[in-house]
Amino acid sequence: MRQVLPILAIVTTVAAVASVAAGEPKSQRQSIREAVAAPSRTPANLARDAYRHPVETLGFFGVTPSKTVVEIWPGGGWYTEILAPMVKGHGTYYAAGPWPDGLKGVQAMQARDAATYGAVKLAAFPWSEGQPKVADGTADVVLTFRNVHNWRMGGEEKAADAFRQMFAMLKPGGTLGVVDHRLPETADAAREQSSGYVKVSTVRRLAEQAGFRFVAASEVNANPKDTADWPSGVWTLPPTYRLKDVDRAKYAAIGESDRMTLKFRKP
């Protein structure tokens, strides 16, 4: 047995090296880790990984390099820095936002670094006739980070239409991933109109009314220090610090908001 075990170890090591040399596909988690560690990411965005947990979040949503991934309202491109390099040459990444001004952040990234971001496709969301769109039934994964509260503050119909449009762009069996600031279920629902927080039950209702089926929830982006009752809503906390220097150290110690992380499927 003493002789067999070293031999088995050598065989296993050789097999592992051979599989890498043969170009065996990377695991999903490895692909995400490499994208998160991409040298093209900016230091300011890297500093927020501790709050946003991109490896765990994208892994939970099932994002892989070969998929067609749509990010709704990418803003300044925090997740664009991760998703664009990840799918480049393998799949497709769409940045979808209010047309055209809502995509200025991503366009600036393309102008600055065409080699990394030139393949990013731009689309309107919400979409109106005559604007570029993500074709119905073509996306494998649709992701929206901290946006549902904005649609909810815009009114019930605006929020409902957003979920209907996301449902339309997904393939059957496709995934919708939602991250947003979480309002406790016991809180007054009226606070969804102004605080920047939204209840899990509200997100589930909007998604299910659009035709989605709830799959699972993750606590990867939870923050028990956030009581969701701040004087200027969620914007009291970092990174916004709406109160500026008032109690800044206190809010910095709390960190970014408590967030739900929900996965839905299109039947």
Residue 90 lies in a domain: yes
What's the predicted TM-score (pTM) here?
0.89
Coil, strand or helix: which one is 140?
strand
Of the candidates 155, 28, 132, 148, the one whose C-alpha atom is nearest the C-alpha of residue 90 is 28
Residue 131 lies in a domain: yes
pLDDT tens, position by position, 191-240: 999 999 999 999 999 999 999 999 999 999 999 999 999 999 999 999 99
Residue 78 lies in a domain: yes
Domain that holds residue 138: 42-223+258-265
Torsion sign across C-alpha atoms 193, 176, 171, 63 = positive
DSSP string, 199-252: -HHHHHHHHHHHT-EEEEEE-TT--TT--S--TTGGGGSTTT-TTTTTTHHHHH
pLDDT tens, position by position, 130-141: 999 999 999 999
Confidence of residue 26 (pLDDT cuts 50, 70, 90): confident
Q: Whole-number mean pLDDT of the chain? A: 92
- Count CB-CB contacts under 10 A for residue 211: 14
Residue 93 lies in a domain: yes
pLDDT score at 19: 36
Residue 109 lies in a domain: yes
Residue 27 lies in a domain: no
Residues of the chain by 3-state class (helix, strand, coil), percent to 5: 40, 20, 40
Give the containing element (helix H, strand E) for 253.
Answer: helix 248-254
Phi-psi region of 223 (alpha: psi -120 to 50; beta: other; left: phi over 0): beta
Residue 162 lies in a domain: yes
Number of domains in the chain: 1
Per cent of the chain over pLDDT 90 is 90
pLDDT at 190 over 70: yes
For residues 252 and 247, give the distance between their C-alpha atoms in angstroms, rounded to a whole number.
9
Reading the block at residue 4, the tokens are: 């067999």
Instruction: Give me the CATH number covering residue 141.
Output: 3.40.50.150
For residues 83 and 85, give the distance between their C-alpha atoms in angstroms, rounded to a whole number.
6
Task: Specify burial of residue 204 (Cβ count, 10 A radius: 0-12, 13-18, 19+).
Answer: middle
Residue 98 lies in a domain: yes
For residues 70 and 61, give the distance between their C-alpha atoms in angstroms, rounded to a whole number.
12
pLDDT score at 22: 38
Q: What stretches of the chain adopt beta strand conformation (E)?
A: 68-72, 92-97, 121-124, 139-145, 170-181, 213-218, 259-265
